[in-house]
Chains A and B, each alone.
Chain A
Amino acid sequence: MDLKRTPLYECHVELSAKMVDFAGWIMPLQYSGIIEEHMKVRNSCGIFDVSHMGDILIEGPHARELLFKMLTNNIELAKIGKGIYSHILRPDGTIIDDTIVYNLGDDRYLLVPNASTKDKVLAWMTDNNPGAILTDLSEAMASIAVQGPMAQEVLQKICEDDLSAIGRFHLSRLTTVLEGDRQDIVNSLFPGSENGRLGCVACRTGYTGEDGFELLIEAEHAARLWNAILSIGGGDVAPAGLGCRDTLRLEKGMLLSGTDFDGTQSSLQTGPRWVVKMDHDFIGREALEVQADDPGLSVLVGLVLEEKGIPRHGHDILKDGVVIGHVTSGTMSPVLKKGIALGYVPRRNSRKDERLLIDVRGHLLEARVVSLPFL
């Protein structure tokens, strides 16, 4: 199968990125190196191409009804201009995807699914649609994540609007100082004046645990915005690849779709607890009610290795010589300089400070359950 290229593909080649296949896309794994990019995002600012992620517009008088049914979190909590993190479940409670849904106002919502599950999510919504209008904007839109403690400072240099006015998990239309003529999709998402400037939609969120923005921009203008951020940011900003995106999100205990949940786990198993709001009638709710009373249920926990070594996806987790679960994500935390992991263990073994062993390629290494995030 041919790998899909994002509108920023040429930028990555120019920056000599190491490219990899990710969910059918050819994406930058790293530029200067995963650890260096990781620390750049923690300490100043990194920019990521996240154009592979989906963008689905949900409109009309039935939009809210559809989301009410689809989302474990309650769409009522997403006031106009705000987003919520949610899971989308099958009737048996297993997770199809995790996503952020933004309320654009006027019965319009923007749902951002993962690249690997976008088609599944779209098909699932279509099957359960009471009459909302669904538009897949994924191909037409590029997305650039600007992440790190200096994200606002860097981005402010090329924006006319005051970024400090955008709250966490809120979104807003931004007017950049770059020239730009018609931007039909940005206008349709967020009506506003163009005045000859390039506009985009900024969501104050990310997948690194740092402050930052995800910028949605029409594909044809993406490279110009990418290059402008890199050059205006000077030494404060660097391109960052999927490699450090993974280590950054793992340090913050965030789930990776397809890895930490693979279609067989429920939201009660993965957490976070607040992602499920039992106050409304969503698909999968009954299954979760049954699961809630199951004492043998396996749940996702954070594990820190007490000795040297690195846990990896698939490694066994043991207690008293018996395999009780598996690691789903693991790495050497660049900040903690320790092996960290997410993995499933039975509820009775999930308490903080529980001592477990991880089988790291034949070595049984001591690990401890910690509360998430790791930092």
Chain B
Amino acid sequence: MNEVIEGLLYTRSHEWVQKLEGSRVRIGVTDHAQHELGDIVYIELSALGKVLAKGDEAGALESVKTVEPFYSPVGGKVVRVNEELEKQPELINRSPYLEGWLIELEMDSLQDMDGLLDSAAYSSLLEEA
């Protein structure tokens, strides 16, 4: 339950950020988030090329019961989306940190990473809740 991966950065709204090469980052939602939502059956992701500010709605995850938006933890341009999720949205439930990633951004500024939580801080956030 509620797996947290070391080396990723996290938001209070349960997204994760993985730093790739250069100013590119990969974004997804955490194990906690997918547990809370339950079976995810449909996803909506920002279009390629869309420019997002930090905190902008970057898409939505729909489970059987409900729909939850997810927010871009950093600002930047959408350069890749996980097209596999259109066919298999359940990948987010099965593998939230690997196959269930959502989008990749080319960041405007590395400073956007400031204020994100490391795995220890995110873990304690989950324990408090």
B-contacting residues of A (Cβ < 8 Å)?
Answer: 18, 29-30, 33-36, 38, 243, 246-247, 308-310, 312, 331-332, 334, 361
Contact = CB atoms under 8 A, between A and B. Distances in A.
B64 A247 contact: yes
Contacts of A310: 41-42, 62, 67
B38 interface: yes
A334 B60 CA distance: 19
Contacts of A361: 60, 67
Given A332-B62, A361-B67, A309 B42 contact: yes
A169 to B, nearest CB: 29
Given A243-B64, A310-B62, A312-B67, A332 B38 contact: no
Interchain residue pairs A-B with the least CB separation, the first 4: A332-B41, A34-B64, A35-B39, A310-B62
Contact of A34 (B38, B60, B62): B38
Contacts of A334: 64
A224 to B, nearest CB: 29
Interface residues of B, number: 12
Nearest to B39: A35
Nearest to A34: B64
Among B38, B39, B65, chain A packs the most CB atoms within 10 A around the CB of: B39
Nearest to B69: A361
A243 B65 CA distance: 7
Contacts of A246: 65
Given A310-B67, A312-B67, A361-B67, A30 B62 contact: no
A18 B66 CA distance: 15
14 contacts: A18-B38, A33-B38, A34-B39, A34-B63, A35-B39, A35-B64, A36-B39, A38-B64, A243-B64, A308-B42, A310-B62, A332-B64, A334-B64, A361-B60
Contacts of B93: 33
A361 B93 CA distance: 23
Among B38, B41, B60, B64, chain A packs the most CB atoms within 10 A around the CB of: B64
A34 B65 contact: yes
B60 A331 contact: no
A303 to B, nearest CB: 16
Contacts of B62: 310, 332
A56 B66 CA distance: 33
Given A33-B39, A34-B63, A361-B67, 13 more contacts: A29-B38, A33-B38, A34-B38, A34-B64, A34-B65, A35-B64, A246-B65, A309-B42, A310-B62, A312-B66, A331-B64, A332-B42, A361-B60
Interface in B58-116: 60, 62-67, 93
A38 to B, nearest CB: 8
B44 to A, nearest CB: 8
Nearest to A339: B42
A140 to B, nearest CB: 31
Contacts of B60: 361
Contacts of B63: 34
Nearest to A18: B38
Nearest to B43: A308
Contacts of A331: 64-65
B126 to A, nearest CB: 16
Nearest to B38: A34
Contacts of B41: 35, 310, 332
B86 to A, nearest CB: 8
Contacts of B39: 33-36
Nearest to B64: A34
Contacts of B42: 308-310, 332
A309 B64 CA distance: 11
A315 to B, nearest CB: 11
A246 B63 CA distance: 13
A309 B60 CA distance: 11
A36 B67 CA distance: 19
A332 B41 CA distance: 7
Nearest to B60: A361
